[in-house]
Amino acid sequence: MKKPHRKYRNKKLKHIDGFVVARVDKRESRLPYDIFLDSLGASKKHAGDPRVGVIVDWLVIPVLISEDPVTLSGRPFPGEHLVHEWVRKHYEPLLMHWNKRLTDTEVLMAVSEP
């Protein structure tokens, strides 16, 4: 496995390849992966469908924010069903964040597990 690039260090907000993201650490989500939430969401010119990014082996795999989440890359990964359950559980705050109705801080508080 490749060594992590410095842009993935432990910060909540980051610029990655031109995107601003909020990171949900796997310790906070209780998932096997970190999750990236696009801070610009629907406000981007070519936003596409609402989605989160799942960091698997240093690749970002998009998962649709939906009541019936789907891995958009079509590439299955171990624990995919856990991520889909997490997205389903946090559907409302994730979608509100995508639509700019919640700030990064508010959505991070809403989706972090106690």
Question: For residues 18 and 21, which has the higher predicted lDDT (pLDDT)?
Answer: 21
Q: What stretches of 1-114 adopt beta strand conformation (E)?
A: 13-16, 19-24, 35-38, 51-56, 59-64
pLDDT digits (tens, 9 = 90+) for 1-16: 344 444 434 444 444 4
pLDDT digits (tens, 9 = 90+) for 25-42: 999 999 999 999 988 887
The pLDDT of residue 10 is: 40
Q: Which residues, 6+ apart, have CB-to-CB distance to 59 below 8 Å? A: none
**Model pTM above 0.75:** yes
Domain boundaries, the chain: 22-111
